[in-house]
Chain A
Amino acid sequence: MDQIAILAQGLKKSYGRVQALRGVNLEVQKGEIFGFLGPNGAGKTTTIRCMLDQIRPNGGVLRVLGLDPQAEPVAVRRRVGYLPGELHIDGNFTVEGALRFFNFLRQGKADWHFIRQLAERIDLDLKTPVKNLSKGNKQKIGVILALMHRPELLLLDEPTFGLDPLIQQEVHKMILEARAAGATVFLSSHILSEVESTTDRVGIIRRGVVVEVAKTSTLVNRSLRRVKIRFRQAVDASSLLALPGVALLSKGDGTSLSLQVEGEMDALIKALAAYPVVDFETERPSLEEVFLTYYQRDMDGGEA
């Protein structure tokens, strides 16, 4: 239990007749970056908001850093840094005023030298009134608010939403640095490249249920690959197509093939030894394709 940062068992939440969470089971280890994936409306934000006691679950068990958020919400929030997907701050503040106000709520725990460093890295002017900021610049305030007190656990809901690519990269670095300093990161996103490049493990939530938890690399490797093969002369590829997990995508004039391979490549490579191969190219799918494949399979009726 000491090594578990977040534990959810059968977590349920409904709004009237709408069931937002239908029994979420989740275990996030301390020190890892955990990606929480799912389409809009799957229950990502609802799960995070339960962790902060902003909404109250209807059933199940939830522990954050060993604490029950409903029983000890202030203690949980003291140790957590949260970045909402859409940040809303009183427009009458300046950036510095907003940071000072929220730092007051944390009993001044944040170090101003560190805050200025963070602001500089993401190019945020502390003197600007919040009402004059663009959506992306407001999101930068959220990044600093989440990180400034060096929390044990970061709950990031779409952390780079609205940020330009350079700043996104910097935020990813900050997240990795926080983990290197010992923090656990729970990152909800539907930007799959972000999840793929930063997370250790991924959980996929669909319609309020976690349907898959796996190492990010495993999830990517497990899935379909596209293989393009060019031969010196026209060949009969029927023996290749007979291999388990191999399907034909396209066939040229007999000297080239495009295949889809599910699972390990070993059998295909061994079979190709009998062919005059000129070129062999595999295309590793992005997590996005994995994700879509996963959902497509689910929509087609298979239980994932």
Chain B
Amino acid sequence: MRTIFWYSLGRMRSQILGWGLCLGLLGGYLVSFYDTLVQQEAQLLEMVKAYPPEVMAFFGDMNKLFTPGGYLNTEFFSYMPIVLGIYAVLAGSGLLASDEENGTLDLLLAHPVSRAEIYFGRLGAFLVALVGIHALAWLGFWLFVPGTTMDIMPGELALPFLSLLAEMILFGALALLFSMLLPSRSMAAMVSGLLLVTSYFISSLAKIDENLRQVAKVSPLNYYQGGEALEGMKWSWFLGLLVVALGFVLLAWQFFERRDIRVVGEGSFRLPIFSRKKGYSHAGTRD
């Protein structure tokens, strides 16, 4: 499993550096503007009041915009589930399905390595990649905090990142599960991405629409705290998200253990709605 893990992590190093450094730089840029924003609190409050509540629902509580937690939430953490979610969904759906579709999994599974070793080796690398991206982003923020009036300890600053990390693990695991259930990696990414965006809208709009609050309870992003975690982390939400993610991971593993590995150029089954013929059909075997 170690060989698979290190090989997979090696393949992800550019993703870790690319995403982590970009988010870290963005964080540093945003943190350095905090004091300027606080100095213009009165004018900005007037402007914010003019915004419709539907818009404000997506950016958190504007009354807290001038606290470190509120500022970071509005400027960064409020939309980060969508931005980083794109990575989580693409990486999760491609964790095994990409190699299956390009034919490299076929050769790997001709060697003395079990499916469980491949699965958990890849999954481990994905989790380390997610932690690495979050850690680099956190570092970017933290390096600029001492130059501002933000009174945040490094451990406190890590809390919203932990909340974000739990969401990304969950959506990555969901995409992985879909990649084991749906005919192609692209379809798995599309469905997971759709659920991510839906969850984002439902959770955000539930803040201003009471009718959506019941539905929002099953929306993963309802349990995302973002910058609000600076004022107190709800660990039950954090752990709850990880438990659900673990459920997805275990289910996906079982499906991977049972599935027929496709060879390149070979389709899986087709969904009936996309198939001209009725029922499932195999897109063709090489032989």
Residue numbers of A with Cβ under 8 A of B are 15-18, 20, 38, 40-46, 49, 52-56, 73-75, 77-78, 80, 82, 84-90, 92, 101-102, 104-107, 142, 145, 157, 188
Q: In the complex the two chains form, is B285's CB within 8 Å of A41's CB?
A: yes
Q: In the complex the two chains form, is A73's CB within 8 Å of B111's CB?
A: no
B279 at interface by CB-CB < 8 Å: yes
Q: Render B97-113 as a binary contact track against A, CB cut-off 8 A, 1 for contact.
A: 00000111011111111
Q: In the complex the two chains form, is B103's CB within 8 Å of A77's CB?
A: no
Q: Which of A16, A84, A102, A106 contacts B282 (CB 8 A)?
A: A16
Which secondary structure characterizes the binding site on chain B?
Answer: loop
B260 at interface by CB-CB < 8 Å: yes
B residues in contact with A44, CB < 8 Å:
287
Report Cα–Cα, A78/B11, bound state, in Å.
25
B residues in contact with A17, CB < 8 Å:
279-282
Report Cα–Cα, A42/B285, bound state, in Å.
10
Q: In the complex the two chains form, is B287's CB within 8 Å of A42's CB?
A: yes
Q: Which of A56, A104, A188 contacts B3 (CB 8 A)?
A: A104
CB distance from A44 to the nearest CB of B (A): 5
Report Cα–Cα, A41/B283, bound state, in Å.
12
Given A49-B106, A54-B106, 14 further pairs, Cβ under 8 A: A15-B282, A20-B285, A40-B286, A40-B287, A45-B286, A46-B287, A52-B109, A52-B110, A53-B109, A54-B110, A86-B263, A87-B107, A88-B103, A105-B108
With contact pairs A90-B11, A106-B111 given, residues A84 and B287 touching in the complex (Cβ less than 8 Å):
no
Q: Please, could you name 20 A-B residue pairs with CB atoms under 8 Å apart, sorted by A?
A: A15-B285, A16-B282, A18-B282, A20-B285, A43-B287, A45-B285, A52-B109, A54-B260, A77-B109, A77-B112, A77-B113, A78-B112, A82-B110, A84-B103, A89-B104, A92-B11, A101-B7, A105-B112, A107-B112, A145-B107
With contact pairs A17-B279, A43-B287, A101-B7 given, residues A89 and B111 touching in the complex (Cβ less than 8 Å):
no
A residues in contact with B276, CB < 8 Å:
none
A residues in contact with B246, CB < 8 Å:
none
Report Cα–Cα, A38/B112, bound state, in Å.
29
Q: Render B103-141 as a binary contact track against A, CB cut-off 8 A, 1 for contact.
A: 110111111111100000000000000000000000000
Report Cα–Cα, A80/B109, bound state, in Å.
12
Report Cα–Cα, A17/B280, bound state, in Å.
7
CB distance from A290 to the nearest CB of B (A): 20
Q: Render B243-263 as a binary contact track against A, CB cut-off 8 A, 1 for contact.
A: 000000000000000101101
Q: Which of B102, B260, B264, B269 contacts A56 (CB 8 A)?
A: B260
Report Cα–Cα, A146/B260, bound state, in Å.
22
Q: In the complex the two chains form, is B269's CB within 8 Å of A16's CB?
A: yes
